[in-house]
Structure 1
Amino acid sequence: MERSKKVIFTSHCILNQNTVVPPLARAKGPYRDIVEVIFNNGIGIHQLPCPEYRYLGLKRKPMTKEEYDNEEFRKLCKDISKDIVTVMKEYLDNGYYIIGLIGINGSPTCSIIGDRGILMEELLSSCREANIELNLIDVPTDYHDGENEKGFIDRFKEFISNAC
């Protein structure tokens, strides 16, 4: 079977809400609506590691970007970013198309739009150094899986359509 050779990079919690700080989870497991759109378009998913989980584990308390922004955590995010860029280059060097990157708006590590999270700061900086340009989208802070009242899924479908 022929591959689509399309892949999208996602923040960890798009596929695994279990790693989200307990009071902030917005879905029971993965964001099914988002994953369904990706699957329906024949796009592969590459899940980013969760630096918050790696740094403090599952029993961490909610923290701000300022609380995470220390030398040790930033180094972890830089190291993760270098690994991700290596993976992106491998895809690109083998004829794949990267649809884009999905972040989590308001996340201290994975927000892309507005106040950028620490992982995304480091990742997008590493991408610039490697001359990798990405289409970017954030899951809005008021989005909950299955509740499309704000039209995010419609915007996400358009994002996918424009990128393909």
Structure 2
Amino acid sequence: MADQNFDFRDQRSLKVVIVSHCILNQNSRIATCAMSGNTMPGVVEKLILDGYGLIQGPCPETELFGLQRTGMDIDSHKDPKPASDGEIYDRLNADENIDALNAMAFQLATTAKEYVDNGVEVGGILGIAGSPSCGVKVTYRFGLQEGQGAFIEALGRALRSLDLDIPIIEMNDARPDKNLQVLDAIQVRDMTD
């Protein structure tokens, strides 16, 4: 062991991206909503190749309602119907859950601030199109509609409370080609800073 030469120079890229939980773990999604077996295709590989470390955010739906939660099913996009136990967006914002949702968001924003305060660029926060929790431009609330998911709304408030200006960017499971174009824009932003 004494003959090993360790290189203790700082090898870090000093840049990270915060990703919605299911980008790294599709197993956290409602069974009928997972579009791949493990991670969001191409996104993880692209971020690693571009030199980003990955910070996995929490899955508020799994944390609060478990893996057996109900919600929309694949046919709900054609014929939206409320889930038997209420829409996930509304359940996340319910009195009994809002404090936990806000705490998760504030903890993630605090983590981002720790990185920023220590010279690490947070290139963005990646949300999920159509998610009742992590939608950025499109959420699901009694059908797909424009707007942010409940967790992204809470995260935006938490970031503002800490004076952080980090772009929140939407990934779309159904459009892997577009995701890579969006991630290229993060890289361009990084090079112009």
TM-score by shorter chain over 0.5 = yes
Native 8 Å contact 1:81 1:126 kept in 2 = yes
Native 8 Å contact 1:104 1:141 kept in 2 = yes
SS state of the match for residue 166, structure 2?
Answer: coil
Matched, 1:66 2:90: yes
Identity of paired residues, percent?
Answer: 28
TM-fit CA distance, 1:89 = 1.5
Cα distance in 2 for partners of 1:107, 1:85 equals 19
Q: State TM-score, norm by structure 2.
A: 0.77
Aligned match of 1:4: 13
Cα distance in 2 for partners of 1:77, 1:159 equals 27
Which stretches in structure 1 are left out of the alignment for 5+ residues? Answer: none
Tell me the C-alpha RMSD between the 2 structures: 1.6
SS state of the match for residue 32, structure 1?
Answer: coil
Cα distance in 2 for partners of 1:156, 1:121 equals 22
Q: 1:82 aligns with which of 85, 94, 106?
A: 106
Native 8 Å contact 2:159 2:165 kept in 1 = yes
Count of matched residue pairs = 159
Native 8 Å contact 1:92 1:98 kept in 2 = yes
Q: 2:187 aligns with which of 138, 160, 164?
A: 160
Which stretches in structure 2 are left out of the alignment for 5+ residues? Answer: 1-9, 72-86, 138-145
Q: State TM-score, norm by structure 1.
A: 0.89
Q: 1:52-63 maps to which residues of 2 (within 5 A)?
A: 52-62=61-71, 63=87
Aligned match of 1:47: 56
> 1:72-127: CA deviations, max 9, x gaps?
22211100011112211111111111000100111111111241111111111010
Seen in structure 2, the aligned counterparts of structure 1 residues 55 and 112 have a Cα distance that, compared at 3 Å, is same
Matched, 1:38 2:47: yes
Moved more, 55-64 or 104-113: 55-64
> 1:40-73: CA deviations, max 9, x gaps?
0110000001110011111111144234320122
